[in-house]
């Protein structure tokens, strides 16, 4: 599978927050988690461009955003090095199978290599066998023996005030 001939990448800017939110909602629909999206354009502007907590990269074909990824740096105490965490990566359905996802993941692998990062990590829903097979085809391995834990919303407040 070869990369789409006009594919390029661009880093999102503040004026892209509406487009970012559209991708987030589209991804949530795909993951059957649409009810969990509470992000707004204003929240994204604050956290992505004022507080600079993460970055967004778009996959663009002929001037149209066809995919996006939100990512940030993390740190491995065991490696003693920074890493790259991909929070979300998504290609619109009508553009899948054209090498876009592979090119996006290669973009992140090259970034990690150039920066000397120790790893690139992301999570995938257990039911998403198409994505799991795709990631495995890149050489990625699932992290057996690890469970992701989360405190969010009211649970954060309850524990913080306990």
For residue 56, how many C-alpha atoms fall within 13 Å in the half-sphere facing its CB?
A: 25
Of 41, 43, 144, 59, the closest CA to residue 101 belongs to 59
Q: Which of 30, 85, 90, 135 is catalytic?
A: 135
Contacts of range 115-119, beta carbons closer than 8 Å, 24 or more positions apart: 115/82, 115/84, 116/81, 116/82, 117/73, 117/81, 117/82, 117/83, 117/84, 118/76, 118/79, 118/80, 118/81, 118/82, 118/83, 119/76, 119/79, 119/83, 119/84
Annotated catalytic, 135? yes
Tokens of 21: 């939110």
Calpha distance 1→130 (Å, rounded): 16
Tokens of 84: 């790259």
Q: Return the active site residues.
A: 135
């Amino acid at each position: 599978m070869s990369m789409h001939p006009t594919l390029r990448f661009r880093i999102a800017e503040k004026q892209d927050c509406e487009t970012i939110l559209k991708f987030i909602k589209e991804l949530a629909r795909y993951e059957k988690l649409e009810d969990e999206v509470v992000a707004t354009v204003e929240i994204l502007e604050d956290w992505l461009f004022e507080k600079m907590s993460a970055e967004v990269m778009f996959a663009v074909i002929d001037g149209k955003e066809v995919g996006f990824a939100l990512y940030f740096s993390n740190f491995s105490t065991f490696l003693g090095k920074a890493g790259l965490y991909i929070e979300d990566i998504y290609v619109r359905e009508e553009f899948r199978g054209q090498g876009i996802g592979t090119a996006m993941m290669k973009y992140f692998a090259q970034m990690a290599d150039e920066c000397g990062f120790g790893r690139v990590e992301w999570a995938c829903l257990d039911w998403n066998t198409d994505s799991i097979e795709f990631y495995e085809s890149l050489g990625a391995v699932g992290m057996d023996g690890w469970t992701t834990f989360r405190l969010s919303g009211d649970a954060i407040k309850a524990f913080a005030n306990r």
